[in-house]
Structure 1
Amino acid sequence: MARMLRRVAVVGAGAAGLCAARHILSRPNTFTHPAVFELSDNVGGTWCYEERVGTHDNGRPVHSSMYRDLRTNLPKEVMMFPDFPFDPELGSFLPHQEVRKYLLRYCESHGIRPHIRFNTVVENVKPVAVAAGDGGETTMWEVTSSESPGCRKTETFDSVFVCVGHYSNPHIPNIPGIQNFKGKVLHSHSYRFAEPFSGQSVVVLGAKASGLDISCELAKVGAEVTLSHRAPRLSVPLPTGIRQSSTVVAIEDDGRIRFQDGSVAGADVLLFCTGYNFSFPFLDANRLGLDIQDHSVSPLYHFLFPPAFPSLIFIGICKLICPFPNFNCQVQFALAVLDGSVTLPPRSQMEDEVLREQQEKLQRGVKQRHLLVLQHTQWDYCQMLARTAGFAPLPAVVCSLYEEVWRQRRIHPQNYRRLNYRLMTLQENVKTRASDITEQQQQQHDVEHKHRVKGKRTYTHV
């Protein structure tokens, strides 16, 4: 008897959702064409820049957190899906428009668009038990969606990929007295460009990637910026017009801002660069055995599967990662589980493993809100997924270049994007080493050659 093809729903047509659809389509002997549900009328998710903030005319919230002049903080040589390079003529650090074009090209190249249902809200995703051929039960998923109010459709799928991202629901920490602030309060989600802040005093809360980047933009147009954060004082050179301070602890009755060090100052604008909350309004967390908080979703086995319902799959839940390569590994591993190539442990074992990993992190001093941060451990994680599921691992040069850029960003937060890189084959590397190059270049190539031997490719500055 012919094997029944599995039917998969994908929620979201951003980078993660497109990646899921691409790999599902590449397995026509195992899966039917995916149904991709997309809230907007575009592909690309947060990479779709919109000058509008707040809500659309239809009342739906604006999803994207992209600002006008954003350039990537990772080079395209690291960002790309491993089997789909960016245009080699482009520089390494791209304006957001080029990333959107890349995702459009990815979508068209793999024939994904016909399977996307645009302007469609997923209202509910719930598990249902159905009789299996062996006399037992299996879990299916009822997905209720609507293209317009009152026009609902419920369909059944074998599995659901949740690919909605986590850069659209702003996290605004509780600051006592915030109602007393006399100026403008906004989150980076609603920041688009710097010119309206020219000549104003702006307190930016948070000094991670967006906080630092937006502070530099504001300083360039003549804003007086106070970069407020809880981390140790940044030692990197900052533009004129930016000063650092301790974190904001309260707003005084007169509207002035009180900082942790006891100082008090006035400001025209409070700009929160404080990250985003997880939000899955179409899921019943309790029924799924999940604890969904602002900064964490647990338990997820391998950051992918709720142990109680492992055919519900979260893609891109981790933080401080190289997103597209990470998605690529997660999707292929998940599909290997669905097609039976990889067998997951029993529910209790998965839950125990997740709990043990979390407890080990907490004992090392990792805060609860950072349990999904991978950063430098992301490479071992992706290698584990590839090794277990039997697909090609990420090239070692991706890790090497990522770590190099991370180092450059800490040293030169304003200038690191001026560098361009090129991935090199063994033949190119040997030819370069044999040419007439400076001592400094020779030292650089010595490092590259070490990466080359390990990872089959290397990189160089160009």
Structure 2
Amino acid sequence: MKNGEVFMKVDKLPLSMWSVWVGHFGQRLKSGLRDRSTKPRVCIIGAGIAGLTSSKYLKDEGINFTVLESTRYIGGTWRYDSRVGKDENGLPLHTSMYMHLSLERKEDRSTKPRVCIIGAGIAGLTSSKYLKDEGINFTVLESTRYIGGTWRYDPRVGKDENGLPLHTSMYMHLRTNLPKPTMELRGFPVPREMQSFPSWNVYYEYIKSYAAHFDLYKHIKFLHFVTSVKRVGNVWKVKHKHILKGEVFEEEYDFVIVGTGHFSKPNMPEILHEKLFKGTIIHSHDYRVPDVFTNRHVLVVGAGPSGMDIALDVAKYSKSLVHSHHSKVNFRTKFPDHYIRKPDIKEFNETGVIFVDGTYEEIDDVIYCTGYEYDYPFLDKSCGLVIDKHSVIPLHKYMVNINEPSMMIMGLVIRACLVVAIDAQARYATALIKGNFTLPSKEEMMSEWQRQADIIRSKGRPISDIHFLAEKEDQYYEEMSEESGIDRVPPVMFKIRTMDTEAKLENLYTYRNYVYEVIDRNTFTRRLETETKPANNSALP
């Protein structure tokens, strides 16, 4: 005691001693001041454990006290807050609590893994569905107000209402380029009345119905933009920002599933003297409607699926359609008379294009259908991936980060039934997270990946081919099933895609007229959409 007052500091005591010491302090305070003519009044600063236990014992002794707490909450550092920095009142956050803190000496994370899914497109939604089925704790972070990713059409180009680049590359007249059996999400049949190759809006409604049916919306944090994913110790630290409120959150997860896709950052070619050209140049990412090209001389560059589809779409309106590409695919389509096939571009001038064969065409507008770059700016170097414009390496089974196998990148397969492949990957990821199987060792996974990379390089091909499935698609599904124990994707899916590819080569104008119906895991029928029975009334193996 000093000058008739008692000074005690209890916040440095071990937790197990706080209640004993504070009880003793209450007794001393009561007895030490017994001769005072007035009742003592005590100020307690802070409503954490020290403040609460002090309050309890002072109250027991009938001593007058007040607790002053700067926040809206009790518990001090024991209250978890996902935000960092300052609170809603501009004060520094007091708590140092983190998501997986445990009072146990050893925490068993395997029983309750926490999963972060980035993106609420098809990859994010299917992953959510399977994790939810298994009772696994997960959160979906979506930067927009919507689900569906690139399947949602937006007439705008550039940036959205929040200043973020528009993710979708959907255009008005798009129809799927694969038939509906290969577009079906497992456990949620496509409507029988759905067109064989549905338009984007019909398929987008199907995706929304899927999310509603499996009650996935409540797991999605909309308008949360992921800014950083780092590997720290044995956890993933994911930082994200609420786009409207500006609040920044940092949370810890055991697994990360990246489902943002790779069809949003345009791959722009570098062509000599492009800046001299006085016409318009866009990428297919910003292509929306064809009628703006009415009576124009239009150049389309590239002959991938989008390049061929957009070329035919624009050709219905343009005065001429010049198509520059170096594809060796033998398309047997009879193109319209104003369709002009050209080789690669050598250079631009003010009014047109000179091609590598020396020919020249006057051009008003250019549409680059030159693909997209792999772009994951939020992934820190600690993730252990090598990411460039055209590849993400090294990945086991086209999806598992070999250097940090608790991270999975979804949908990085080319020339495949993409929806079927993503659904299989989501089931594989869920089985891994649940602990249904164990991955091969890092050395084994790396050896297998290196073998594939060496084959590609031996053929003089770029490493970007590491993402191609093509004729290996059905084998991929078999390997995934053998390793993880998930149900195998039926071989009929690859067979349908193979026949559909032949139909595209035959005629790009008519391949969508066919209806494919699955008979069993290995057979299907095909007929023209106007027919009521399969062509030749027979099943195709």
TM-score by length of 1: 0.88
- Is 1:76 the counterpart of 2:180? The answer is yes
Q: 2:476 aligns with which of 374, 381, 400?
A: 381
**Contact (CA 8 Å) 2:386, 2:394: kept in 1 or not?**
yes
What is the alpha-carbon distance in structure 2 between the residues aligned to residue 293 and residue 316 of structure 1? 16
Aligned residues: 426
- Which letter maps to 1:99? Y
Bigger Cα displacement from structure 2, 3-12 vs 365-374: 365-374
1:51 aligns to what?
155
**What's the CA shift string for 1:325-364, capped at 9, x where partnerless?**
1011112222222222222222233222212111112223
- Is 1:249 the counterpart of 2:346? The answer is yes
2:51 aligns to what?
none
What is the alpha-carbon distance in structure 1 between the residues aligned to residue 366 and residue 524 of structure 2? 50
What is the alpha-carbon distance in structure 2 between the residues aligned to residue 13 and residue 410 of structure 1? 34
Deviation of 1:242 after TM superposition, in Å, equals 1.2
- Which letter maps to 1:170? P
What is the alpha-carbon distance in structure 2 between the residues aligned to residue 289 and residue 155 of structure 1? 20
What is the alpha-carbon distance in structure 1 between the residues aligned to residue 289 and residue 311 of structure 2? 11
Aligned residue runs from structure 1 range 212-223, under 5 A: 212-223=308-319
What is the alpha-carbon distance in structure 1 between the residues aligned to residue 348 and residue 404 of structure 2? 45
- Which letter maps to 2:438? T
1:103 aligns to what?
207
Sequence identity, in percent?
29
For structure 2, the residue ranges without an aligned partner over 5 or more in a row are 1-106, 526-531
Aligned residue runs from structure 1 range 318-329, under 5 A: 318-329=413-424
- Is 1:298 the counterpart of 2:393? The answer is yes
**What's the CA shift string for 1:200-234, capped at 9, x where partnerless?**
11110001111111111111113311110012364
The ranges of structure 1 where at least 4 consecutive aligned residues each deviate by more than 6 angstroms after the TM superposition are: none
What is the alpha-carbon distance in structure 2 between the residues aligned to residue 87 and residue 196 of structure 1? 34
DSSP 3-state at the match of 1:371: helix
What is the alpha-carbon distance in structure 2 between the residues aligned to residue 262 and residue 327 of structure 1? 44
DSSP 3-state at the match of 1:333: helix
Q: 1:184 aligns with which of 280, 305, 319?
A: 280
- Which letter maps to 1:91? Q
**Contact (CA 8 Å) 2:477, 2:488: kept in 1 or not?**
yes
Deviation of 1:282 after TM superposition, in Å, equals 0.7
2:334 aligns to what?
237
- Which letter maps to 2:463? Q
DSSP 3-state at the match of 1:384: helix
What is the alpha-carbon distance in structure 2 between the residues aligned to residue 198 and residue 373 of structure 1? 37
**What's the CA shift string for 1:28-65, capped at 9, x where partnerless?**
1xx22x10011110110000100000011221111100
1:433 aligns to what?
none
What is the alpha-carbon distance in structure 2 between the residues aligned to residue 124 and residue 87 of structure 1? 39
**Contact (CA 8 Å) 2:351, 2:364: kept in 1 or not?**
no
What is the alpha-carbon distance in structure 1 between the residues aligned to residue 471 and residue 192 of structure 2? 27
- Is 1:259 the counterpart of 2:366? The answer is no
2:87 aligns to what?
none
**What's the CA shift string for 1:152-194, capped at 9, x where partnerless?**
0111111000000011100011112111111001000000010
What is the alpha-carbon distance in structure 2 between the residues aligned to residue 204 and residue 300 of structure 1? 33
Bigger Cα displacement from structure 2, 1-10 vs 388-397: 1-10
1:22 aligns to what?
129
1:342 aligns to what?
437
DSSP 3-state at the match of 1:127: strand
What is the alpha-carbon distance in structure 1 between the residues aligned to residue 319 and residue 129 of structure 2? 44
1:434 aligns to what?
none
**What's the CA shift string for 1:59-79, capped at 9, x where partnerless?**
111110000010111111111
1:117 aligns to what?
221
**What's the CA shift string for 1:282-326, capped at 9, x where partnerless?**
112x33222111111111111112222110111111122211110
What is the alpha-carbon distance in structure 1 between the residues aligned to residue 332 and residue 201 of structure 2? 32
TM-score by length of 2: 0.75
**Contact (CA 8 Å) 1:216, 1:239: kept in 2 or not?**
no
What is the alpha-carbon distance in structure 2 between the residues aligned to residue 334 and residue 425 of structure 1? 26
Bigger Cα displacement from structure 2, 348-357 vs 83-92: 348-357
Judged with a 3 Å threshold, the aligned counterparts in structure 2 of structure 1 residues 174 and 396 are, in CA distance, closer, same or farther, namely same
DSSP 3-state at the match of 2:492: helix
- Which letter maps to 1:102? Y
Aligned residue runs from structure 1 range 145-294, under 5 A: 145-148=240-243, 150-232=246-328, 234-252=331-349, 254-284=350-380, 286-294=381-389
1:126 aligns to what?
230
What is the alpha-carbon distance in structure 1 between the residues aligned to residue 269 and residue 392 of structure 2? 18
- Which letter maps to 2:120? A
DSSP 3-state at the match of 1:236: coil
Deviation of 1:441 after TM superposition, in Å, equals 4.2
What is the alpha-carbon distance in structure 2 between the residues aligned to residue 214 and residue 356 of structure 1? 37
Aligned residue runs from structure 1 range 362-441, under 5 A: 362-424=457-519, 441=535
What is the alpha-carbon distance in structure 2 between the residues aligned to residue 383 and residue 212 of structure 1? 32
For structure 1, the residue ranges without an aligned partner over 5 or more in a row are 130-138, 431-436, 452-462
**What's the CA shift string for 1:127-156, capped at 9, x where partnerless?**
111xxxxxxxxx211111111364101111
Larger Rg over CA atoms: 2
What is the alpha-carbon distance in structure 1 between the residues aligned to residue 143 and residue 524 of structure 2? 46
**Contact (CA 8 Å) 1:141, 1:157: kept in 2 or not?**
yes
What is the alpha-carbon distance in structure 2 between the residues aligned to residue 213 and residue 57 of structure 1? 29
**Contact (CA 8 Å) 2:142, 2:220: kept in 1 or not?**
yes
**Contact (CA 8 Å) 1:177, 1:250: kept in 2 or not?**
yes
2:120 aligns to what?
13
Q: 1:311 aligns with which of 390, 406, 410?
A: 406
Deviation of 1:365 after TM superposition, in Å, equals 4.1
